[in-house]
Amino acid sequence: MTKKILFLIIIIVSFSVSQQLFRSNTYGFEVTFPDKWEVKEGTTTMVAVVAKYGDYSSINIVVKENESIGNVTIEDINLEKFKDDLVMKYQSAFTNFKMVDYGKTTINYNNAIYFTYYCDIVDKILKAKQYFMFNNSRMYVISTGCLDSEAADYDSMFNDCVNSYKFTN
């Protein structure tokens, strides 16, 4: 029994050491990325952070500030209309876009809308999942993506990262 407890403690310590915490005081959130991923803050307008591993695997968080968002909550959003608008936008932006799943979920007690889809990027099939949340007149979009052929390797890592996300304001 002592060996099992010791093994469990070693696993937990290894996991916590192999992560990198990113905090944005500007946008009021924090998230944990895998240790070996390259993390860049504020790469372009609205992109708060991008974490990449290799050429086709990434997690990024976009923050859109808009006073018209006001106190909008996920409960205020018509899911079907939101989905239809997003599908129309993405079909014009991506080759071979295909929505495969969508719905409402929670991330650290915050309500969110998620979309999972496939599209072609440079003649490769990309699997992506996006989460949309609202907080303090801002829309936050967490995007995860990798080659479909590598999705089984990354899904757990992506889920851990997304589930570590929390608002700090």
CA dist 40 and 47 (Å) reads 10
- The position carrying tokens 């899904």 is 155
pLDDT at 10: 40
Q: What token pair was written down for 145?
A: 């993506």
Neighbours of 136 (CB within 10 A): 13
Contacts of 11 (CB under 8 A, 6+ apart): none
Q: In which band, very low, low, confident or very high, does the pLDDT at 2 lie, cut at 50, 70 and 90?
A: low
Cα(15)–Cα(139) distance, rounded to whole angstroms? 30
Mean pLDDT rounded to a whole number for the chain: 88
Average pLDDT over residues 123-146: 94
Counting residues of the chain whose pLDDT is more than 70, the rounded percentage is 89
Name, in order, each residue with C-beta under 8 angstroms of 34's C-beta and a sequence gap of 6 or more: 18, 19, 20, 51, 53, 157, 161
What pTM, to 2 d.p., does this model score?
0.86
Task: Give the pLDDT confidence of 44-102 residue by residue, as tens digits.
Answer: 778 999 999 988 999 999 999 877 777 888 999 999 999 999 999 999 999 899 999 99
Q: DSSP characters for 57-102?
A: EEEEEEEEE-GGGTT--GGGS-HHHHHHHHHHHHHHHSEEEEEEEE
- pLDDT class of 17 with cuts at 50, 70, 90: very low
* 77 CB-near residues (< 8 Å, 6+ apart): 113
3-state DSSP assignment of residue 161: helix
Task: Select 20-167's CATH number: 3.30.70.141, 2.40.100.10, 3.40.50.720, 3.40.1000.10.
Answer: 3.40.1000.10
